[in-house]
C-alpha cells in the first residue's frame, strides 16, 4: 500500500490527549497508551464526580428541562444536571472541572452514516478533495509516483469534476482521458476514487494489469467509459471499478497477516483521532465485513475504541446466513461496539447518473440510472435479517430506488406482523417521489440523510432532476418530518468531511456555494438540526435510552463548542470550534488555545 504520512494532522490530537496521562509527551506510542487508558473505572470516592462542567449553557435536548448550566458525571454516566449549586456537592479533589465560561455543551455528536475504516484510510492515501483542477491531481500523483517503489500502487480519493475551475482538454463526458496521468506514472498503477465512491479514474498501467482493453465488455451494473474510437478513457463507473480493485486486492493479499492487521489498526487509530477532534462521540459505520468487525471487537476489548461504534454488516447472502446469529452484539466492550444491522445497496449516486429514477435524467434522457443490486436479492436478505432480529439499512438515492426499497420493506413487514419496532432505515433517501414521502412515517422507516450532501450536490441536483423534481422530492427534510418520519444526519465520510458543524450549517441554511439557498423551506430549525445529529441518530440505532440527550443515567458523551450554535448569527456557525470532546465522562480531546 502506498502511504502518505499524515503526522501533521495527527500531531495536535496527540498533544491534546495528554489530559488523560500526566506524563505523556506527543509520540504516537503515547497516543496509544493514553487511549488504552479508556475505561469507566472511577478513581473518585463514592459521591464524588469524575467530571463536572459548569458556568455555561448546556443544551440537554430533554423535554422537561431543555437548558441547564452545570452537569456532573461519574463512572461514565451523568449523575446530575442543573445549575452550579446542584452540582457543587459532587465536586471533590479528584474531580476534573471544566469551566464553560459561557460556552455551549451539547450531547456528543453522533455521525449517522459514515465509513469508519475508509475515514482512517483517507488519512493514509492522497486526499484529492481540495483539488480545483485535473492538472492539480496529476501533479499530486506525479509527486507520489516519484517516491513510490516501482510497481507499487498510487491510490487517492475524493476528486470531484464539479469542483474543477478549468475543464480538462480533451474531455469526454465532462472528464479527462488518462494520457496525462499515465505519462506521470508510467510504471506505477494509479487508482483515484471519486468523492462519491461510485467511480474511479485509473491510468494505463492499472488498465494493463487489470486486462482492460477496447474489447473488454462492460460488467453488469457498470461502465468502462470509452472515447470515440472505443479506447477506455480511464474512467470506470460503478461495478466496473471492481476490475481494477480485484487486482489491487490481489497485490495487497501478498502481505503477511501481521502487515495487514497493523495497517488496519492504523486506520482505526487515525479515524478515532479525527472524530474526537471534530466532536464526534459515536459513529454509525455504513457497512463493514466480518473480518473488520472481528478486529474492532478485539480493539474494543483492548480499550482502543474511544469513539463508540454502531457497525452495519456488509456481506453476501450465504455468508450472512451462516454468521448472523453469532455477530449480534449490543454495547460490547463498555458500550463501544454494537452490531445489529445489515447494509444493503439498491442504486448508485446522482452525480454519476447512477441513482435509479422513475423517469429519465433531465440532463441524460437516454438513462434512468440503474439498480446496482436487484430488489429481489435485497428482499431475500431482508427476510433473513428480520428472522435474526437485525435492522436493514439500504442505500437508496433515486426515487425509483427509494420506492423499490419501501415496497420490499413493506412486504417483509406484512409477512412478519409479530415483529414491531423494527426501525429499518433508508440510507440517503435523497430523492423521493411525493407519493412515497408519507410511507416513511406510516411504515416507521427512518430517513437516514446527510445534511451536507444537499449543499455540496445542490448545483447538479437541479441539472440531473430538473427543477420540478428537485423541488418536490430532493432532500425534503421538512416534508418527511411532517409525515412523521425520523430524519437523521451525518456526512457519509469520506464522501464529505466528517465535520458535524459543516453539515449542521447546511442543514439550517441549505446554502449553496454561490450563496443561493436550495428550496429553503425544507431547512431545519437550529434545534431540529441539533436533534437530527444527536437524539434522532441515537433512535436510529436503538440507543435513545443511553445517548442523544444529557440527562441523569445516560452516558456522559458531551461535546463543548466555542460558541452557541443555537443562537449566534447563522454565518458564524462555521467559525465555531470544538473545544472539548468527552466520551463516557473522560475528556479525550481539548483544543489547543
Ligand atoms: Zn455511505
Ligand 1 centroid, distance to 525 Cα (angstroms): 25
Cβ–Cβ < 8 Å for 37, 303: yes
Looking at the fold, whether 311 and 405 belong to one and the same domain comes out as yes
Query: Which grid coordinates are listed for 568?
Result: 449566534
Cβ–Cβ < 8 Å for 446, 490: no
Contacts of 365 (CB under 8 A, 6+ apart): none
The answer to whether position 26 is within a domain reads: no
Please tell me the predicted confidence (pLDDT) of residue 93: 94
Local confidence band at 459 (pLDDT 50, 70, 90 cut-offs):
confident
Provide mean pLDDT across the span 331-355. 95
DSSP at 444: T
Other C-beta atoms lying within 10 Å of the C-beta of residue 581:
27
Cβ neighbourhood burial of 425 (10 Å; 0-12, 13-18, 19+): buried
Residue with cell 422513475: 358
Listing DSSP states for 490-551 in one string gives: ---TTSS---HHHHHHHHHH-B-TTS-BSSGGGPPPHHHHHHHHTHHHHHTTT-TTTSSS--
Mean pLDDT in the chain?
Answer: 91
The CATH number of residue 144's host domain is: 3.10.310.70
The CATH number of residue 309's host domain is: 3.20.20.140
Please tell me the predicted confidence (pLDDT) of residue 253: 81
More confident residue, 148 or 481: 481
Looking at the fold, whether 447 and 354 belong to one and the same domain comes out as yes
Cβ neighbourhood burial of 43 (10 Å; 0-12, 13-18, 19+): exposed
Alpha helices by DSSP H, listed for 185-240, are 204-210
> Can you name the residues that pair with 511 across neighbouring β-strands?
517
What is the C-alpha to C-alpha distance for residues 460 and 196, in angstroms, rounded to an integer? 14
Local confidence band at 45 (pLDDT 50, 70, 90 cut-offs):
confident
Local confidence band at 42 (pLDDT 50, 70, 90 cut-offs):
low
Looking at the fold, whether 290 and 212 belong to one and the same domain comes out as no
Ligand 1 centroid, distance to 492 Cα (angstroms): 5
Q: How large a percentage of the chain has pLDDT more than 70?
A: 93
Please tell me the predicted confidence (pLDDT) of residue 383: 97
Please tell me the predicted confidence (pLDDT) of residue 344: 98
Looking at the fold, whether 446 and 475 belong to one and the same domain comes out as yes
The answer to whether position 13 is within a domain reads: no
Ligand 1 centroid, distance to 146 Cα (angstroms): 33
Alpha helices by DSSP H, listed for 278-371, are 290-301, 317-327, 332-335
Query: Which grid coordinates are listed for 216?
Result: 473488454
The answer to whether position 502 is within a domain reads: yes
Looking at the fold, whether 363 and 311 belong to one and the same domain comes out as yes
> Can you name the residues that pair with 325 across neighbouring β-strands?
none
Ligand 1 centroid, distance to 92 Cα (angstroms): 45
Local confidence band at 563 (pLDDT 50, 70, 90 cut-offs):
very high
* Secondary structure class of 96 (helix, strand, coil): strand
Provide mean pLDDT across the span 530-539. 98
Of the three residues 186, 218, 253, the one that is the final residue of a domain is: 253
Please tell me the predicted confidence (pLDDT) of residue 14: 33
* Secondary structure class of 466 (helix, strand, coil): helix
Please tell me the predicted confidence (pLDDT) of residue 26: 34
The answer to whether position 281 is within a domain reads: yes
Ligand 1 centroid, distance to 113 Cα (angstroms): 6
Looking at the fold, whether 282 and 413 belong to one and the same domain comes out as yes
Local confidence band at 43 (pLDDT 50, 70, 90 cut-offs):
low
What is the C-alpha to C-alpha distance for residues 417 and 410, in angstroms, rounded to an integer? 11
Provide mean pLDDT across the span 226-252. 94
Q: What is the pLDDT of residues 253-275, one digit of tens each?
A: 888 889 889 999 999 999 999 99
Please tell me the predicted confidence (pLDDT) of residue 16: 36
Ligand 1 centroid, distance to 154 Cα (angstroms): 23
Ligand 1 centroid, distance to 195 Cα (angstroms): 11
Burial pattern 365-392, b for ≥16 Cβ within 10 A else e, equals: eeebbbbbbebeebbebbbbbbebebbb
- Which range of residues forms the domain containing residue 383? 259-547
The answer to whether position 67 is within a domain reads: yes
The CATH number of residue 79's host domain is: 2.30.40.10
Poorest-pLDDT segment among 42-46, 385-389, 544-548: 42-46
Residues near ligand 1 ion, CB 5 Å cutoff: 286, 492
Q: What is the pLDDT of residues 435-448, one digit of tens each?
A: 999 999 999 999 99
Local confidence band at 401 (pLDDT 50, 70, 90 cut-offs):
very high
Looking at the fold, whether 398 and 530 belong to one and the same domain comes out as yes
Looking at the fold, whether 389 and 272 belong to one and the same domain comes out as yes
Ligand 1 centroid, distance to 177 Cα (angstroms): 27
Please tell me the predicted confidence (pLDDT) of residue 149: 83
Ligand 1 centroid, distance to 119 Cα (angstroms): 11
Cβ–Cβ < 8 Å for 345, 394: yes
Cβ neighbourhood burial of 77 (10 Å; 0-12, 13-18, 19+): middle
* Secondary structure class of 74 (helix, strand, coil): strand
Q: CB-hemisphere CA count at 13 Å for 126?
A: 25
Looking at the fold, whether 246 and 294 belong to one and the same domain comes out as no
Cβ–Cβ < 8 Å for 221, 345: no
Cβ–Cβ < 8 Å for 69, 54: yes
Flag whether pLDDT at 507 surpasses 70.
yes
- Beta-sheet pairing, 199-202 with 190-194: antiparallel
Ligand 1 centroid, distance to 461 Cα (angstroms): 18
Ligand 1 centroid, distance to 53 Cα (angstroms): 35
* Secondary structure class of 359 (helix, strand, coil): coil
CA dihedral 269, 123, 10, 115 (to 10 degrees): -50
Q: Given CA atoms 441, 447, 452, 456 in this order, what sign does their dihedral have? A: negative
The answer to whether position 6 is within a domain reads: no
The answer to whether position 326 is within a domain reads: yes
Alpha helices by DSSP H, listed for 223-364, are 241-253, 257-277, 290-301, 317-327, 332-335
Please tell me the predicted confidence (pLDDT) of residue 18: 32
Flag whether pLDDT at 419 surpasses 70.
yes
> Can you name the residues that pair with 200 across neighbouring β-strands?
193, 236
Of the three residues 201, 234, 253, the one that is the final residue of a domain is: 253
Ligand 1 centroid, distance to 516 Cα (angstroms): 27
Of the three residues 204, 219, 253, the one that is the final residue of a domain is: 253
Q: What is the pLDDT of residues 84-122, one digit of tens each?
A: 999 999 999 999 999 999 899 999 999 999 999 999 998
The answer to whether position 10 is within a domain reads: no
Looking at the fold, whether 451 and 518 belong to one and the same domain comes out as yes
Looking at the fold, whether 301 and 352 belong to one and the same domain comes out as yes
Flag whether pLDDT at 33 surpasses 50.
no
Overall domain count for the chain = 3
Flag whether pLDDT at 138 surpasses 90.
yes
DSSP at 95: P
Looking at the fold, whether 227 and 318 belong to one and the same domain comes out as no
Ligand 1 centroid, distance to 115 Cα (angstroms): 6
Backbone angles phi, psi at 28, to 5 degrees: -60, -35
Amino acid at each position: 500500500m502506498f502511504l502518505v504520512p499524515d503526522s501533521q494532522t495527527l500531531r495536535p490530537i496527540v498533544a491534546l490527549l495528554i489530559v488523560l496521562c500526566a506524563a505523556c509527551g506527543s509520540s504516537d506510542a503515547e497516543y496509544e497508551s493514553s487511549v488504552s487508558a479508556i475505561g469507566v473505572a472511577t478513581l473518585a470516592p463514592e459521591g464524588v464526580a469524575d467530571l463536572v462542567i459548569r458556568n455555561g449553557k448546556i443544551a440537554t435536548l430533554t423535554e422537561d428541562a431543555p437548558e441547564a448550566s452545570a452537569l456532573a458525571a461519574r463512572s461514565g454516566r451523568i449523575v446530575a444536571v442543573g445549575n452550579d449549586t446542584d452540582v457543587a456537592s459532587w465536586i471533590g479533589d479528584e474531580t476534573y472541572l471544566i469551566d464553560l465560561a459561557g460556552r455551549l455543551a451539547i450531547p456528543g455528536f453522533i455521525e449517522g452514516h459514515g465509513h469508519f475504516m475508509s475515514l482512517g484510510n483517507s488519512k493514509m492515501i492522497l486526499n484529492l478533495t481540495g483539488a480545483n483542477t485535473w492538472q492539480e491531481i496529476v501533479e499530486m500523483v506525479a509527486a507520489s509516483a516519484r517516491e513510490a517503489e516501482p510497481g507499487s500502487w498510487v491510490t487517492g480519493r475524493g476528486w470531484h469534476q464539479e469542483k474543477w475551475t478549468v475543464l480538462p482538454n480533451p474531455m469526454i463526458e465532462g472528464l479527462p482521458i488518462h494520457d496525462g496521468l499515465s505519462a506521470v506514472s508510467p510504471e506505477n498503477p494509479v487508482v483515484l476514487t471519486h468523492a462519491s465512491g461510485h467511480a474511479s479514474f485509473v491510468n494505463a498501467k492499472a488498465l494493463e494489469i487489470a486486462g482492460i482493453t477496447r474489447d473488454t465488455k462492460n460488467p453488469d451494473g457498470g461502465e468502462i467509459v470509452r472515447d470515440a474510437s472505443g479506447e477506455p478513457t480511464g474512467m470506470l463507473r460503478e461495478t466496473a471499478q471492481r476490475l481494477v480493485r480485484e487486482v489491487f486486492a490481489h497485490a495487497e493479499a501478498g502481505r503477511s497477516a501481521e502487515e495487514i492487521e497493523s495497517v488496519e489498526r492504523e486506520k482505526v487509530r487515525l479515524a478515532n483521532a479525527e472524530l474526537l477532534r471534530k466532536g464526534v462521540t459515536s459513529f454509525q459505520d455504513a457497512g463493514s465485513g466480518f473480518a473488520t468487525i472481528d478486529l474492532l471487537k478485539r480493539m474494543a476489548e483492548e480499550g482502543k475504541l474511544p469513539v463508540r461504534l454502531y457497525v452495519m454488516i456488509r456481506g453476501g447472502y450465504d455468508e450472512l446466513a451462516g454468521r448472523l446469529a453469532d455477530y449480534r452484539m449490543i454495547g460490547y466492550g463498555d458500550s463501544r461496539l454494537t452490531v445489529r444491522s445489515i447494509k444493503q445497496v439498491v442504486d448508485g449516486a446522482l452525480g454519476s447518473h447512477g441513482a435509479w429514477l422513475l423517469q429519465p435524467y433531465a440532463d441524460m434522457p437516454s438513462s434512468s440510472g440503474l439498480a446496482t443490486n436487484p430488489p429481489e436479492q435485497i428482499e431475500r436478505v431482508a427476510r433473513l435479517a428480520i428472522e435474526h432480529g437485525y435492522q436493514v439499512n439500504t442505500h437508496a438515492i433515486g426515487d425509483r430506488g427509494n420506492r423499490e426499497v419501501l415496497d420490499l420493506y413493506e412486504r417483509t413487514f406484512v409477512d412478519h406482523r409479530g415483529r414491531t419496532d423494527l426501525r429499518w432505515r433508508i440510507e440517503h433517501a435523497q430523492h423521493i417521489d411525493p407519493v412515497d414521502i408519507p410511507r416513511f412515517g406510516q411504515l416507521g422507516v427512518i430517513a437516514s440523510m446527510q445534511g451536507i450532501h444537499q449543499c455540496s450536490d445542490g448545483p447538479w441536483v437541479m441539472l440531473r432532476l430538473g427543477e420540478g423534481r428537485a423541488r418536490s422530492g430532493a432532500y425534503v427534510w421538512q416534508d418527511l418530518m411532517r409525515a412523521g418520519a425520523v430524519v437523521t444526519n451525518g456526512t457519509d465520510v469520506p464522501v464529505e468531511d466528517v465535520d458535524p458543524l459543516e453539515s449542521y450549517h447546511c442543514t439550517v441554511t441549505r446554502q449553496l456555494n454561490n450563496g443561493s439557498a436550495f428550496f429553503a423551506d425544507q431547512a431545519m430549525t437550529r434545534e431540529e438540526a441539533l436533534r437530527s445529529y444527536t437524539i434522532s441518530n441515537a433512535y436510529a440505532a436503538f440507543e435513545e435510552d443511553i445517548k442523544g440527550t444529557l440527562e441523569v443515567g445516560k452516558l456522559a458523551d458531551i461535546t463543548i463548542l466555542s460558541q452557541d450554535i443555537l443562537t449566534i448569527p447563522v454565518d458564524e456557525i462555521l467559525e465555531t470550534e470544538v473545544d472539548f470532546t468527552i466520551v463516557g465522562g473522560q475528556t479525550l480531546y481539548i483544543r489547543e488555545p
